[in-house]
Amino acid sequence: MPRGTSAKKDRVPRVSLAELIGRLTRKRQEVIRPVLENPRDFVLLSVRSMADRLKSDPATTVRIVRRMGFPSYKDFQRFLHDLSIAHATSLDLMRSSTTRDGNIPLYARESLEQDSNNLQGLRNSLEYKRVEKLVRRIYETNRIVLIGGDLASSLVTYFEYHLALLGFTVLTATTPGYTAHLTRMLGRRDLVFAISFRRGLRQTVEGIQQAKARGVYCVGITDTFVSPVARFCDESFLASVETTSFGASYAAPMALLNVILVACANYRRSRTLSLLREADKEQRLGFRWYET
């Protein structure tokens, strides 16, 4: 089981959907399959209402849930909530908006409120002592490898830039081929950050698996414990990407990266100041900057 998980989430089995279903008889698999394929339609239902939808009975439904490894129906509902997040599509998100009258200011306000909620969720759940331990590991590592593709490649680029400014050796992998090649050359003194949300990109998950096979410590940044990123990494940090429209909101993941960077900068503050003094002249007078 990955480290860095809350006690509440530890009541959710850390296995794939296929493994959960495989614990059931074929008949019971068919009973529960609609729930696992469409979790958003069932997550808010009571056990009796769910049983009615499944044309079953409450006692059988509870037995199925427990056989899958959930201590209670509430734990199963929590799992369905995470599953609905992981499997959400852009169309699902667009349909979930509470604003319906075409009022653009309302859409804009709703979006900012969701970003604020995502940030508040990070603020409430982040364990700062874990961040401190992670920073110690960062300073002890040989190389830092950042894996993330598709839209998450923007987070990889941001994270890489600032880690390099702090003097760390950083490599990035944002394509399937390079992820495969790069993770084959890693060793036990390296550290991997894997960034992917919802269901998780195949290239990122396979990169984690290959790195771990070589003894590399892997840190996941994702939005739900149902994600294979959380399941396969040694530890993971959650930051919601929920949005009221399509795509994903990176307000919370960006804030999480900033927390890690600030902690890195101040863990050995004198070292950081020395590095920044070297960069200061270029930042003041370098050719990159437009002169008025």
Q: 110-114, long-range: CB within 8 Å, 24+ apart, which pairs?
A: 110/244, 111/243, 111/244, 111/245, 111/249, 113/244, 114/242, 114/243, 114/244, 114/249
Q: What is the pLDDT of residue 100?
A: 65
Diameter of the chain measured on Cα atoms: 75
**Structure confidence by residue, pLDDT tens digits, 85-144:** 888 777 777 776 666 667 888 888 989 999 999 999 999 999 999 999 999 999 999 999
Judged against a pLDDT cut of 50, whether residue 7 lies above it is answered with no
Poorest-pLDDT segment among 11-15, 150-154, 180-184: 11-15
Whether 63 has a pLDDT exceeding 90, the answer reads yes
Share of the chain above pLDDT 70, in %: 92
Q: Which residue has the tokens 């795509």?
A: 247
Domain boundaries, the chain: 9-87, 123-285
At residue 70, φ and ψ (nearest 5 deg) are -95, 125
- CATH of region 123-285, choose from 3.40.50.300, 2.40.50.140, 3.40.50.10860, 3.40.50.10490: 3.40.50.10490
Question: Which two three-digit tokens encode residue 171?
Answer: 């490599």
Domain 9-87 adopts which CATH fold?
Answer: Arc Repressor Mutant, subunit A (1.10.10)
Query: In DSSP terms, which residues pair with 265 in a beta bridge?
Result: none
- 144-147 and 191-195 as β-strands: parallel, antiparallel, unpaired? parallel
Q: 30 is written with which tokens?
A: 């068919």
How far apart are the C-alpha atoms of 114 and 250, rounded to whole Å? 11
Q: What pLDDT is stored for residue 291 in this prediction?
A: 76
Residues pairing with 191 in the sheet = 144, 217
Please say if the pLDDT value at position 202 is more than 90: yes
Query: Residues 233-289: pLDDT tens digits?
Result: 999 999 999 988 888 899 999 999 999 999 999 999 999 999 998 888 887 877 777
Whole-number pLDDT of residue 6: 44
Does 8 have pLDDT greater than 60? no
Mean pLDDT of all residues in the chain? 90
For 217-228, the pLDDT digits (tens) are 999 999 988 889
pLDDT at 5: 47
> Sorting pLDDT into bands at 50, 70 and 90, what band is 38?
confident
Edge-to-edge strands, sheet with 144-147: 170-173, 144-147, 191-195, 217-222, 235-238
Mean pLDDT (whole number) for 179-203? 95
